[in-house]
Amino acid sequence: MGFKSYIKNIKETLDSTFEGMGITLSNLAKRPVTFDYHSYGDPKRMQKSLEKAGLKNYIETISEGYRGILEVDIDTCTGCGLCERACPIDVITIEKGKNEDKRIVVERFAIDNARCMFCGLCSIPCPTNSIMHTKEFEASNYYIENLLFEWADSDGYIAYNAKKDGERERAELGSKIKDKLIEATIIPDEFYPKKVKAPKPEKVKLKAPPTVFGNRKTRKPVEEEVVEEPVKKVVEEAIKEEKKENIKKEVNKPSDISTDNTDGDKKKEKEVAEEKATENKDNNPKE
Amino acid sequence: MESIANSLIQSWGITSSTGAQLVSLLVMFGFASVVLLAFFLPFAGITSWLERRIAGRMQSRVGPNINGPQGFLQWIADGVKAMEKEDLMPDDADAPLFKMAPYFVFMGVGATLVAIPFSEYLVLSDLNVGIFYIISVTSFVTVGILLAGWSSNNKWSLIGGVRSASQMISYEIPTALSILTVVLLSGSLSMQDIVKAQGFWPWEWHISNNPFMIIMFFIFFISSLAEGSRTPFDLPEAESELVSGFNTEYSGIRFALFFLAEWGNLFVIGAMTTTLFLGGWQAPLALKGSMWLTPVQFMIFMTKMSVVVFIIIQLRWTLPRVRVDQLMIICWHYFVPLSLLSILAVTIWMAVSHGNSTIELVMSIFSTAIWLYFVLLVLYRAVRNFKRTDAKLNLNFLE
Amino acid sequence: MSNITEKEVFFDEMTLNMGPHHPSTHGVLRFVLKTDGEILKTAIPDVGFLHRSIEKIAEGLTYSQFFPYTDRVDYLAAMNANQAYAVAVEKMLGIEVPERAEYIRVLSAEMNRIASHMVGVGALASDLGAFTPFLFNLRDREYLYDYLEEMCGARLTYNYFTIGGVHRDLKTTTKDKILKFVKQGRKNLDEFNRLIAYNKIFIRRLAGVAVVDKETCIEYGIVGPNLRAAGVNYDVRKDQPYSIYDKLDFKVPVGKAFAASDGGVLGDAYDRFMVRILEMEESYNIIEQVLKNLPEGEIQAKVPRKLKPPVGDIYVPTESARGEMGYYIFSDGTDKPWRLKIRTGSFSAMSAFEEISNGYFIADLVSAIGSFDIVAPEVDR
Amino acid sequence: MKPSELLDVIEAEFGDFILESSDKGFDPYIVVEPDALRDISFFLKDDERMKFDFLRTSLGTDKIDFIESLFVIYSYELKHQLIVKVELNHKNPEVDTVADIWKAANWYERESYDLLGIKYKDHPDLRRLMMPNDWVGHPLLKDYKQPKKYHDMDLYRFNPVLKVVKKKAKKKK
């Protein structure tokens, strides 16, 4: 380290430190950009800090078209179910029936706000803007069941049909959600749901995807060797040994979940193997 | 304090020497606890609140403002919360050491109060080795942090503890060397005498005795930051590297003690800097020599100290922290040679200017101008930055 | 910087567990550190804590339903992730996006790139102990988020793009606000630079740390700003242009040992930091150009309701804030992808860590993680 | 180099080992005999006409009949891209590693091993990447069934709200 760089280091350190101190000092004379948010604790205080920031209420800080909690105006719902189909995580449940006049009745329109991810895909296809996002965003409470918002009455609601009912306008956005949010704070009768068994996975027959271009020169059939995975093998061997021991000890134990699983896998593998065999037969002669 | 003890002994009619000693001990203890509870704890607490408010303002946010007027009682709320919390200890921790460590740290900081002169008459004990006493007592902090790091049985804590030990051992050398120049100038180890060797006006302070004293001031200030492990030298508890360093495993009141010690340390650094370099409690001539002028001198002392504390706080929210090897390089490559050089220069200057008060005065005014230049530089840059960012002036600090 | 490691004196090895709950492992990462005191021997990354099996989920969703999930791949630059997926699917379907929609897409993507870099460089500063610059950047980012919220209705997970366009049109009021912010944003960036980027301590902390040279970068497939910091002039926006990037005039900042006077080497942490800063300036340029030339017209191409791309596989790269984000999609001719794979920048940066980390201090590992701008959900997906 | 020329060069060099090659799809690709994968990879990386220095991504696909392992490579210098595919036995997918040719393949192959069970021979560090080390099964296989429990932890997290939905629905019917 030369003498020049020695002095330079000291100089630059002091210089940049003074610059930084100047910046932090100048920020003391600027107004903070944040303001208090106390919607739950101290409404008066909240009002004060909002006034300082030149606002009437915190909703004003949220822009138009904000994607908050979903609101459904059931008066203008046509029961088409587009929103239900658009939802990637099946948050919306719609049940429909028909009454004596052969009109569609929306028996149930439920939105599970506990799982909703506010992506906005449901409100886009809606033909009458019945389902829309409000500016409300605070729905947290102590009981997750309360976040299931039922929008149709239990008797059902005759779906809106512009031809038969005449033109209807959608109720003002955000006018209905507030009651629902207040309802959600009520303590339910039972709030520890019992455990439910796992849903049985649906059996889906797997089909191989089509090949892209048939310009394959020589197609060697992919050899089929039945070699099981070492991990599974280890597990199965362990289970076998356990069973042997159990037999030795003559103790009856309920079979493990893992054994069930492997059994299921075996069955599935057989099915898959059969399918492959048939498909290979189909494919190969062409080449 | 001795007079109080003596009067008590006389009024109670105690004659035996052991009895007298006991009484004076009791008086000492009572006095110490009063000082700790009535001065030290509130000071540390209020500083913690102030630091958070200042930091908030510097970062374009508000800071704590809910408990009490402008959040002033935040420190009490924090303290009460810390006391209510469970005092957890890891299973494999070294229990006695683990429990002892916070007290070491707290004691090391608290004991320095004894020798610090707040005014001409307001000093607990004007020791004739005052500055020496302070240097030695602050080493307790090192011991405490090392113990905390070791006894937590946590590798992150251990690294923090060892870092702290190496850091403080290294930085005691430049600190001591820079204090040495002050001792040279005032010719005494007693804190009161050091203050009395200076005057009220800025050119009478030790910092502006000659330009090399400015270097010594910087070295003392920065290395005492390192000793108090404040940013940019907060390596022992570098929260983004070592989780929380030596106090990772602490909770409840023991953690609060570490915290209090940290902010108490702020006061100690400020008081030391003020006393040694910035003229201490020194008031104009007319305001000296009477017991009744104590509040004035105390206010002068506290004002100077607050400025120093403010700068420390500001530095914390300005600078990033240095690395371990850079920490050592700063100490051994820069501070130690520079301070040795400065001691030499100061002694030569003292020999040259001895008895010639006009040369001394000219030199003092010259070096006052130098450090004033630095102060004005920072202020100028603040204004420049303000203009560059198109900001609106708002001096309402009570948002 | 690290002469100490050159001495071949090693004592007992200490195994340290850094993460998953560590303040400087952004998100949830875990490193198993083998150290000699404070000096690292190796840092073995352990990922998967945020594995949400997005690729498996994609196999059960239609092409347009998968959009919200792309936000969650990289939540700091969700708009870029949106764009990557949209570009890939549109290329498969052969859809031409209206010009106005393309301009709005580029505008939002560049705004998001700035927001992401703000967090990237700010978090690096806060990892090194300087908290104020981080909060300055968060403050500015909130403004950007405000405008993005006005555009699409959400602040973090936007889901703004559709296949063939965007959901909502850009309002003129928002446009004016953004133009106004660009001026202020440049000033604030300058303030940030003077506060931290030119700070001596900061430069010294990053110079010569976690050096990744050109060859290593290419070998490990490190992309984006990290690659450019090593001196490779490659940007997907320039070299394989998509959208309207070939019509725009912007530079690609490349690293050149910015901290050379302080012991910096080409491709060190400070270069990566500076390349991001320069990229932010370029993004401001792009935003200005886009807003100047914003054409009128449709924002949504006509797209069939059921999207069924032809059979085949495609790999489409785009430039996200953390480098090349590519979507590999294999379509079997139905409305759901048979296989979808997301290639992200953080993943490849992470895979190189074991080699990079050797011989530095623990404190340097923190700055290395910060300088690579690793976002954990992008690694795990 | 144009895709068609690129494929011609490869065909001329390794004609016997290329099962399929096409540039008619979205991206040019070749399907390679598994045994010849390493030779072709070396050629692709080192040859003057190829210079594929950047491995963009590597992945596996379960195509029921077989498992496909592929990687996408790109050349920074010559700016061309190629997808190289290998078709593997579904029961015992095994192929040579390319992790020593492109280091980037290291983690991608670990991921493929983890999620699809493709075993890469001579891989330097073939461990699971995303899933825990003692996980059973490979999630990205099409016939994968999620186990019910992992270390006594329920893997199905039941949504109480969902349960309420079903109950009420039953009542109404």
Instruction: Summarize pLDDT for A73-96 with one digit per residue, the tens.
Output: 888 888 888 888 888 887 888 877
Beta strands in chain B (DSSP E): none
In terms of CA atoms, which chain C residue is nearest residue B55?
C132
Please give the average per-residue pLDDT across C38-47, as a whole number.
Answer: 84
Cβ distance of C168 and A119 shorter than 8 Å: no
Give the gap in angstroms from C-alpha C153 to the nearest C-alpha of chain A: 4
pLDDT, position A264: 46
Cβ distance of B159 and C38 shorter than 8 Å: yes
Contact C362, C17 (CB under 8 A): no
Q: Which residues of A touch C168 (CB under 8 A)?
A: 65
Q: Residue A242: pLDDT band by 50, 70, 90 thresholds?
A: low
Please give the residue that has the higher pLDDT: either C353 or A236. C353
Instruction: Summarize pLDDT for B327-351 with one digit per residue, the tens.
Output: 888 888 888 998 999 999 989 988 8
pLDDT, position A270: 54
pLDDT, position B380: 92
Cβ distance of D57 and C338 shorter than 8 Å: no
Cβ distance of B320 and C196 shorter than 8 Å: yes
Q: Which domain holds residue C231?
A: 60-349
Cβ distance of A212 and D136 shorter than 8 Å: no
Q: Closest CB to D89: pick one of A223, A265, A272.
A: A223
Contacts of C320 (CB under 8 A, 6+ apart): C74, C77, C80, C81, C84, C113, C224, C344, C345
In terms of CA atoms, which chain B residue is nearest residue C3?
B325
| Under-50 pLDDT residues of chain B | none
CA dist B304 and B282 (Å) reads: 11
Give the gap in angstroms from C-alpha A67 to the nearest C-alpha of chain C: 5
Contact B52, B266 (CB under 8 A): no
C18, part of any domain: no
Kindly state the tokens that stand for B87: 């005092």
Q: Closest CB to C167: pick one of A16, A66, A120.
A: A120
Please give the average per-residue pLDDT across D152-158, as a whole number.
Answer: 71
Query: Would you put residue D133 in left (φ > 0), alpha (ψ -120 to 50) or beta?
Result: alpha
Cβ distance of D163 and A196 shorter than 8 Å: yes
B196, part of any domain: yes
B30, part of any domain: no
Instruction: Summarize pLDDT for C194-252 with one digit per residue, the tens.
Output: 888 888 888 988 888 888 888 888 888 888 889 888 888 888 888 888 888 888 888 88
Quick check: C195 contacting A, CB < 8 Å? Answer: yes
Kindly state the tokens that stand for B329: 């390089």
Cβ distance of C56 and D140 shorter than 8 Å: yes
For testing contact with chain D, the best of C46, C351, C374, C381 (most D CBs within 10 A): C351
B29, part of any domain: no
Is residue A222 over pLDDT 70?
no
Cβ distance of D172 and A95 shorter than 8 Å: yes
Interface ipTM above 0.90: no
Q: What CATH number does the domain containing C177 carry?
A: 1.10.645.10
Indicate if the alpha-carbon torsion angle C120, C122, C123, C128 is positive or negative: positive
In terms of CA atoms, which chain B residue is nearest residue C36?
B159
Contacts of C269 (CB under 8 A, 6+ apart): C124, C206, C207, C209, C210, C367, C368, C370, C371
Q: Closest CB to B319: pick one of A20, A28, A30.
A: A20
Is residue D172 over pLDDT 50?
no
Give the gap in angstroms from C-alpha A135 to the nearest C-alpha of chain B: 25
Q: Which residues of B touch C14 (CB under 8 A)?
A: 155
Q: Which residues of C touch D59 (CB under 8 A)?
A: 328, 339, 341
Q: Closest CB to C149: pick one of A66, A119, A124.
A: A66
B16, part of any domain: no
Cβ distance of B238 and C187 shorter than 8 Å: no
pLDDT, position B16: 72
Query: Would you put residue A57 in left (φ > 0), alpha (ψ -120 to 50) or beta?
Result: beta
Contact C28, C355 (CB under 8 A): no
For testing contact with chain D, the best of A150, A229, A233, A284 (most D CBs within 10 A): A229
Give the gap in angstroms from C-alpha A31 to the nearest C-alpha of chain B: 6
Instruction: Summarize pLDDT for C55-103 with one digit per residue, the tens.
Output: 888 888 888 888 889 888 888 888 998 889 999 888 888 888 888 898 9
CA dist C81 and C61 (Å) reads: 17
Is residue A57 over pLDDT 60?
yes
In terms of CA atoms, which chain A residue is nearest residue D150?
A258
Is residue A225 over pLDDT 70?
no
Indicate contact of C with B: 3+ CB pairs under 8 A: yes
Quick check: D163 contacting A, CB < 8 Å? Answer: yes
Q: Which superfamily, per CATH, for D3-143? A: NADH:ubiquinone oxidoreductase Nqo5 subunit (3.30.460.80)
Q: Closest CB to B378: pick one of A9, A25, A30.
A: A25
pTM: 0.84
Would you give the end-to-end CA distance of chain C in angstroms? 36
Quick check: C110 contacting B, CB < 8 Å? Answer: no
For testing contact with chain B, the best of A17, A25, A49 (most B CBs within 10 A): A25
Please give the average per-residue pLDDT across A192-213, as a whole number.
Answer: 65
Furthest CA-CA distance within chain B: 76
Q: Closest CB to B241: pick one of C24, C135, C201.
A: C24
C374, part of any domain: no
| B neighbour chains, 3+ CB pairs within 8 Å | A, C
CA dist D57 and C348 (Å) reads: 9
Contacts of C166 (CB under 8 A, 6+ apart): C101, C104, C105, C108, C152, C160, C299, C300
Q: Closest CB to B60: pick one of C135, C201, C364.
A: C135
In terms of CA atoms, which chain B residue is nearest residue A9?
B334
Quick check: A10 contacting B, CB < 8 Å? Answer: yes
Cβ distance of C153 and A67 shorter than 8 Å: yes
Half-sphere exposure of B147 (CA within 13 A, CB side): 19
Q: Which residues of C touch B59 (CB under 8 A)?
A: 131-132, 135-136
Domain boundary assignment for chain D: 3-143
CA dist A123 and A173 (Å) reads: 13
Quick check: C135 contacting A, CB < 8 Å? Answer: no
Quick check: B384 contacting C, CB < 8 Å? Answer: no
pLDDT, position B2: 62
B18, part of any domain: no
Instruction: Summarize pLDDT for A140-185 with one digit per residue, the tens.
Output: 777 777 777 888 777 777 777 777 777 777 777 878 888 888 777 7
C17, part of any domain: no
Q: How many CB contacts within 8 angstroms connect chain A with chain C?
A: 81
Kindly state the tokens that stand for B4: 């109080």
Q: Which residues of D touch A224 (CB under 8 A)?
A: 89-91
pLDDT, position A89: 83
Give the total number of structural domains in chain B. Answer: 1
B209, part of any domain: yes
Instruction: Summarize pLDDT for A98-124 with one digit per residue, the tens.
Output: 777 777 888 778 888 888 888 888 888
Quick check: C306 contacting B, CB < 8 Å? Answer: no
Indicate contact of A with C: 3+ CB pairs under 8 A: yes
In terms of CA atoms, which chain B residue is nearest residue A41?
B66
What secondary structure does DSSP assign to C302-326, as a single string? ---SS--PPSEEEEEEEEETTEEEE
Give the gap in angstroms from C-alpha A61 to the nearest C-alpha of chain B: 17
Cβ distance of A25 and B319 shorter than 8 Å: no
Q: Which domain holds residue B224?
A: 39-388
Quick check: B390 contacting C, CB < 8 Å? Answer: yes
Cβ distance of D89 and A224 shorter than 8 Å: yes
Is residue C182 over pLDDT 50?
yes
The helix (run of H) or strand (run of E) holding residue B161 is helix B155-186
Indicate contact of D with C: 3+ CB pairs under 8 A: yes
